[in-house]
């Protein structure tokens, strides 16, 4: 499929159109809102559905193989090392202080579950297969980026010190983060119960998925519009980073996918993971572990720049490139 057709197909999909409605509602200061309790439910649903379907996919495919092991190792490596690349680019092109640059860099090495869900829905619409183990990589790529970001911040600013109790609490928070815990648990349950388990819950986790994704992206659009005012203080090099860094990450993901031998669908999702930026887990960890970092910079960076770019233009771009350089399933 031609790239322009892929872009139009993605932008004109119900989920992305609802995302646009949310942004427009925020611009015109509408009283449209999704209650916090409903918003939290939508997040929990998507995490459970994505994790469970990934586990089922693993259970119904072949045993652990070389490709899976290499992809998991590559995901951990990218999540650990990409923040260092992002940090170097930020220090060269912007005047960000070290803690804030480290927080932004950690986001760039981490992942966005909603971007992944949107990409998976895009592949499903086009009937493109992808391997279920990619869900496991999604769950594993959150913590290494946070650890790398904190390492860079403390190395650049030695005066930032933490007591042993606070450090222990921070590590516990990272590895017991609710999103990671639910995603991982759903993945394991899906793996254990297999197709029989999916048949039992398909009416809840399979059929309503697209509709709930639309409602969630409407809520995300509202959230983006509420954060756009922070961008007034952004310099052009800082704003540009929110666009070119996901392109670099996506390129790295495609190169690794080619080296491992991933199929088009799995390679697309792996590239999306490398290109996306966390706006939930990383900000939560940084607020606790690195209060010196400016949340008014790193939160809108991922939420108001990188996220909209990826879900509208990035996903069809990564898929178009994957279709050219990766093997079909």
pLDDT tens-digit readout, 284-323: 677 767 788 887 788 788 888 899 999 889 999 999 999 9
% of the chain exceeding 90 in pLDDT = 34
**How many whole angstroms separate alpha carbon 198 and alpha carbon 55?**
10
- Confidence class of residue 55 from pLDDT cuts 50, 70 and 90? confident
Number of folded domains that form the chain: 1
What helix, strand, coil percent values describe the chain, rounded to 5?
Answer: 80, 0, 20
Please give the residue range of the domain that contains residue 185.
3-325
Q: What is the pTM of this model?
A: 0.80
Please give the Cα distance from 206 to 50 (Å, whole number).
Answer: 10
Alpha helix (H) residue ranges in 206-314: 209-227, 236-260, 264-275, 281-289, 295-300, 307-309
Of 10 and 239, the one with more pLDDT: 239
CA–CA dist 191, 186 (Å, integer): 8
CA atoms within 13 A on the CB side of 303: 26
If you search the block for the tokens 């927080």, which residue do you land on? 103
Nearest to 8 by CA among 319, 321, 313: 313
54-79 average pLDDT score: 84
Assign 278 a pLDDT band (cuts: 50, 70, 90): confident
Q: Backbone dihedral region of 29: left (phi > 0), alpha (psi from -120 to 50 degrees) or beta?
A: left
Q: What is the enclosing helix (H) or strand (E) of 80?
A: helix 66-93
Q: What is the predicted pLDDT for the residue at 314?
A: 94
Q: ∠ at Cα 65 (60, 69), nearest 5°?
A: 110
Q: Three-state SS for 141?
A: coil
- Tokens 């183990």 belong to 133
For 146-194, give the DSSP string.
Answer: HHHHHHHHHHH-TT----HHHHHHHHHHHHT-HHHHHHHHHHHHHHHHH
Q: Confirm if 99 and 297 have CB atoms less than 8 A apart.
A: no
- Domain of 172, CATH number, reads 1.20.1530.20
Mean pLDDT of the chain: 85
Of the given ranges (36-50, 78-92, 254-268), which has the lowest mean pLDDT? 36-50
Selection from 97-111, 182-196, 298-312 with the highest mean pLDDT: 97-111
Lowest mean pLDDT among 158-172, 178-192, 256-270: 158-172
List beta partners, residue 327.
263
**For residue 3, pLDDT beyond 80:** no
Q: Model confidence over 25-51: pLDDT tens digits?
A: 988 889 898 898 888 888 888 878 888
Residue 186 has pLDDT above 90, yes or no: no
Distance CA 153, CA 293 (A): 9
pLDDT value of position 58: 76
**How high is the pLDDT of residue 157?**
67
């Amino acid at each position: 499929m031609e790239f322009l057709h892929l872009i139009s197909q993605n932008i004109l999909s119900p989920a992305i159109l609802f995302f646009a409605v949310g942004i427009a509602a925020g611009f015109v200061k509408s009283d449209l809102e999704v209650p916090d309790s409903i918003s939290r439910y939508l997040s929990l649903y998507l995490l459970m559905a994505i994790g469970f379907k990934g586990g089922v996919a693993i259970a119904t495919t072949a045993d652990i193989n070389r490709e899976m092991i290499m992809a998991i190792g590559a995901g951990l490596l990218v999540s650990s090392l990409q923040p260092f690349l992002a940090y170097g680019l930020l220090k060269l092109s912007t005047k960000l202080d070290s803690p804030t640059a480290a927080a932004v860099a950690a986001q760039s090495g981490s992942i966005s579950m909603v971007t992944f869900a949107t990409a998976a829905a895009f592949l499903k619409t086009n009937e493109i297969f992808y391997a279920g183990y990619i869900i496991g990589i999604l769950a594993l790529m959150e913590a290494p980026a946070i650890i790398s970001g904190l390492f860079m911040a403390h190395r650049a600013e030695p005066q930032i010190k933490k007591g042993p109790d606070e450090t222990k609490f921070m590590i516990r928070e990272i590895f017991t983060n609710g999103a990671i815990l639910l995603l991982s648990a759903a993945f394991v349950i899906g793996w254990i119960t297999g197709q029989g388990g999916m048949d039992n819950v398909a009416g809840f986790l399979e059929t309503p998925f697209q509709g709930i994704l639309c409602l969630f992206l409407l809520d995300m659009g509202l959230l983006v519009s509420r954060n756009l005012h922070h961008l007034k203080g952004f310099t052009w090099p800082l704003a540009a980073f929110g666009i070119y860094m996901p392109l670099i990450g996506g390129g790295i993901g495609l190169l690794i996918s080619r080296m491992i031998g991933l199929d088009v669908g799995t390679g697309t999702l792996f590239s999306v993971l490398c290109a996306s930026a966390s706006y939930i887990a990383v900000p939560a960890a940084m607020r606790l572990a690195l209060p010196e970092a400016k949340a008014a910079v790193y939160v809108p960076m991922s939420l108001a720049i990188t996220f909209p770019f990826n879900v509208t233009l990035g996903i069809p771009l990564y898929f178009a490139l994957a279709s050219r350089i990766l093997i079909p399933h």
